[in-house]
Amino acid sequence: MSLVELIAQADERALAAGGLACLDRCVALLGGDDEVLRPLWANLADGSDWTAGLEKARGALAPADSGGPGGPGEDEAALLARRMLDEAPAERTADAVRAWADACSLAALRIHHLLCPATDAGAGDEDLEAARAGTTEDLSPLVAAELRRQTVVLELLAEHGAGGLRRALDVSVEGRRVLRAVVSRRARGRG
């Protein structure tokens, strides 16, 4: 099943987890540590206050006056990650999180495309949309891996409900480490 189909069929918890996982993998671009989104993950498991967790994360990830992370792809990537956080719905309703999860999916793929050293950063979103619909040839390894992670998160939640959250978080943590390593290599290459 394609990622677009998974998003269309997912329930509210799976959609919230899908959007949150995309944001979580890109949190390094916002200067966040590995635990900053943990209260939102906990909310998905126990139903605690999503809005409070979201506001806490936004406060912790408030933009600094430092001018951003650096290089040309990273500036746009950081803006896309910021938009994921800013557009997270305050109310965790199925309609609101579906639109957010869909936007986060495309933004995360775009971020991985921008930061992949093996791709042309000028390519458009049409190829990424096609990949989400199931046409995956010619994807860079970084983008293909992100597409797989997004698919796995939604499949885990579809198959296991709340029981799939721990494994979905593990998938997200793995992706966060990969993206941090890419950003670090790019910074060393500029230095």
Instruction: Report pLDDT for 125.
Output: 77
Q: Are 10 and 154 in contact (CB under 8 A)?
A: yes
DSSP per-residue string spanning 160-174: HGGGGHHHHHHHHHH
> What whole-number percentage of the chain has pLDDT above 90?
74
Confidence bin at 117 (pLDDT 50/70/90): confident
**What pLDDT is stored for residue 66 in this prediction?**
44
Confidence at residue 126, expressed as pLDDT on a 0 to 100 scale: 87
Sign of CA dihedral 148, 149, 155, 158: negative
* pLDDT above 80 (res 112): yes
Inform me whether the pLDDT recorded for 119 exceeds 80: no
Instruction: Find the mean pLDDT for residues 17-31.
Output: 95
Q: Could you report the per-residue pLDDT of 144-166, keeping only the tens digit for each? A: 999 999 999 999 999 999 999 99
Read off φ and ψ for residue 182, nearest 5 degrees. Answer: -65, -45
CA 32, 127, 168, 180 dihedral sign is negative
Mean pLDDT of the chain: 89
Residue 122 has pLDDT above 70, yes or no: no
Looking at the predicted structure, is the pLDDT value of residue 189 above 90?
Answer: no
